[in-house]
Amino acid sequence: MKRPFYKGLALGIILGIIGTVAWNMFEFDADETIMLRDNLFFLETHMDHACGLLRYAPVKIMGITSGKIEKILLEGEPGQQTVKVQFLLMKDRAKYIARSNPNLNLKADVDPTFSYARSKAEGSLGDSYLDIHPGDPRKVGVIEDGGTIRTLNCLK
pLDDT in the model for residue 34: 52
Q: Could you give the count of Cα atoms lying within 13 Å of 141 in the half-sphere of its Cβ?
A: 8
Handedness of CA 109, 112, 114, 116 (dihedral sign): positive
Tell me the C-alpha to C-alpha distance, in Å, between residue 34 and each of 43, 45, 70, 119: 18, 24, 15, 24
Instruction: Give the structural domain span for 142.
Output: 37-149
In a domain, 113, yes or no: yes
Please indicate whether residue 89 or residue 3 has the higher confidence score (pLDDT).
89
Contact, 68 vs 56, CB < 8 A?
A: yes
In a domain, 99, yes or no: yes
In a domain, 111, yes or no: yes
* Average pLDDT, integer, range 12-33: 70
Residue 29: is its pLDDT beyond 80?
A: no
Q: How many domains does the chain have?
A: 1
Q: Is 0.85 surpassed by the pTM of this model? A: no
Tens digit of each residue's pLDDT (9 = 90 or more) over 120-141: 988 777 789 999 999 998 898 8
Interatomic CA distance for residues 28 and 89, integer angstroms:
16
Which residues, at least 6 apart from 98, have a Cβ–Cβ distance to it below 8 Å? 113, 114, 115, 134, 135, 136, 137, 139, 140, 141, 142, 143
In a domain, 133, yes or no: yes
pLDDT in the model for residue 8: 78
Tens digit of each residue's pLDDT (9 = 90 or more) over 67-113: 999 999 999 888 888 899 999 998 888 888 988 888 877 787 788 88
pLDDT in the model for residue 26: 56
In a domain, 9, yes or no: no
pLDDT in the model for residue 1: 57
